Amino acid sequence: MNPIVTPDICDAHPEVRVLDPLFVNFGAIEAFCGPVRTVKCFEDNSLVKEAVSEPGDGAVLVVDAGGSQRCALLGDMLAEKAADNGWAGVVMYGCVRDVDALADIELGVQALGAHPRRSEKHGAGQRDINVTFAGVTIEPGQWLYADNNGILIAERQLALDS
């Protein structure tokens, strides 16, 4: 696979949408891409756990956590599970924790920040729906491209030239 360089993708594909620059890279894989699957939840990571426990098949889990900065919805254990199950990455519109461990896990992880408190677990939320944050509506099945420059959404998989 050709390297993911989001500025080059933007130049070659001006139709892509760019998320507002709110996110920080936390995972060992700094550039990642894949088809989108979504979770919408607020301060409850039950559906995140459920999703990463399933085969990822190279997909990116996009989590609309409402931008909460009061707890983390992904830590080292769920990130390990995601990596083991073949997820390419997780984009969290919220916080993560265990950031030193996340930096060693072979998974792309971008989030708003870090928070040491874990989330609640009540099974609340929705999966595989359109989510809107950072100025973009993201639909399951679209393609996400991410690196240290930013996060892009494309309607389909893009041909990346070397």
77 marked as binding residue: yes
76 marked as binding residue: yes
- Pairing mode of beta strands 143-147, 136-138: unpaired
84 marked as binding residue: no
Nearest-CA neighbor of 4 among 155, 149, 142, 139?
A: 149
104 marked as binding residue: no
Residue that is written with structure tokens 């060992």 in the block: 28
* CA triple 58-8-157, angle to 5 deg: 35
Q: Look up residue 21 and give its two tokens.
A: 């620059």
CA 27 centroid distance within chain: 10
78 marked as binding residue: yes
Spell out where the chain has E strands.
17-18, 24-25, 32-40, 60-64, 72-74, 89-96, 108-114, 126-127, 131-133, 136-138, 143-147, 150-154
150 marked as binding residue: no
- Pairing mode of beta strands 108-114, 126-127: unpaired
Binding-site residues, please?
75-78, 97-98
Binding-site residues for substrate, please?
75-78, 97
Binding-site residues for Mg(2+), please?
98
